[in-house]
Amino acid sequence: MNDAKLGQVFALLEAALLECEEEPQNALRLAALAKAFESTFGYVWKHFKREADQAGLETYSPRDALKAAAQLKLIDDLELWNQFLNARNLSVHDYLGMDDVVVVELVQKFRAEVQRLLD
């Protein structure tokens, strides 16, 4: 995958994650991590949608794009990516209500998956 903007938001995600790993109880850092996660997820699913469109698969939503990405072998674990989508949906509405440790652990998994796409 070669997407400059995705690379930029991914760098912000990594920086926010490092900050949260250093001080996990800091609400401001967690808010930054949630926003970086949302932005990165947005770029990734839109990349999946473009790939699906090029392959002739119709996608109308992020969930459709994830299914198409699995069909196209862009991702290995559709269930994990659906967890990322559900977390993104929750974080958009209430990132302060999510458990801090769970958020950081999920974003760590997400970072690894996105890094695999970028390599």
pLDDT band, very low/low/confident/very high, at 103 (cuts 50, 70, 90): confident
pTM of this prediction?
0.90
Burial-class residue 76 by CB neighbours within 10 Å (0-12, 13-18, 19+): exposed
Q: Average the pLDDT over 102-106 and give the result.
A: 87
Q: Which two tokens stand for residue 72?
A: 């196209």
CA-to-CA separations, 57 to 44, 48, 66, 85, 100, in angstroms, rounded: 17, 11, 12, 20, 37
Q: Average the pLDDT over 62-84 and give the result.
A: 97
- Residue with tokens 């269930």, as numbered in its chain: 79
Domain count, the chain: 1
Domain that holds residue 90: 4-118
Helix (H, G, I), strand (E, B) or coil at 55: coil
Find the CATH number of the domain harbouring 14.
1.20.120.330
Mean pLDDT of the chain: 90
- Residue with tokens 């390599």, as numbered in its chain: 119
**Region of poorest pLDDT, from 60-64, 65-69, 87-91:** 87-91
User: Where are any strands of DSSP class E within 13-106?
Assistant: none
State which of 70-74, 93-97, 101-105 shows the largest mean pLDDT. Answer: 70-74
**Region of poorest pLDDT, from 14-18, 54-58, 77-81, 115-119:** 115-119
pLDDT of 99 > 60? The answer is: yes
pLDDT tens-digit series, residues 10-63: 999 999 999 998 988 888 998 899 899 999 999 999 999 999 999 999 999 999
CB distance 40 to 85 below 8 Å: no
What span, in angstroms and rounded, lies between the C-alpha atoms of 24 and 40?
A: 20
